[in-house]
Amino acid sequence: MKKKYLLRKNKEYRKVYNKGISLANRHAVIFAMENHLGYSRFGYSVSKKIGKAVVRNKVRRRLKDVCKRCENKLASGYDYIIIARKGIEKLEFNSVRDTMENLVYRINKKTARKN
């Protein structure tokens, strides 16, 4: 994923947290906010509660891969932040994908209603 498609600064994250909409399930939380850029940007957050660095990086890589596969299902022109919750590290990749696809479907419905 190219750098222009990633949220990098703390200021950008805080803006999405404060002004965006959110949805959650047992394993992840997703925040979304319109960015008026014409393309979507993503941010990932994996807490130290998940595990040590190797485990956190594995979870982050899985989330990035799932977002890359679901990119065409997401509305463009939004900033998305995905926060991993404790327990996601124990899931198989397919379960993580199913969890994220459910969240993507629900956040799309919610953003469509907002507009």
How do the domains of the chain map onto residue ranges? 3-114
Q: 40-56: per-residue pLDDT in tens?
A: 899 999 999 999 999 99
Q: Residue for token digits 């947290």?
A: 17
Q: 79-101: per-residue pLDDT in tens?
A: 999 999 999 999 999 999 999 99
How, if at all, do strands 28-34 and 41-46 pair?
unpaired
Distance CA(104)–CA(113), nearest Å, equals 14
pTM for the structure as a whole? 0.89
- Domain 3-114 falls in which CATH fold? Ribosomal Protein S5; domain 2 (3.30.230)
- Give the CB-side neighbour count of residue 51, counting CA atoms within 13 A: 14
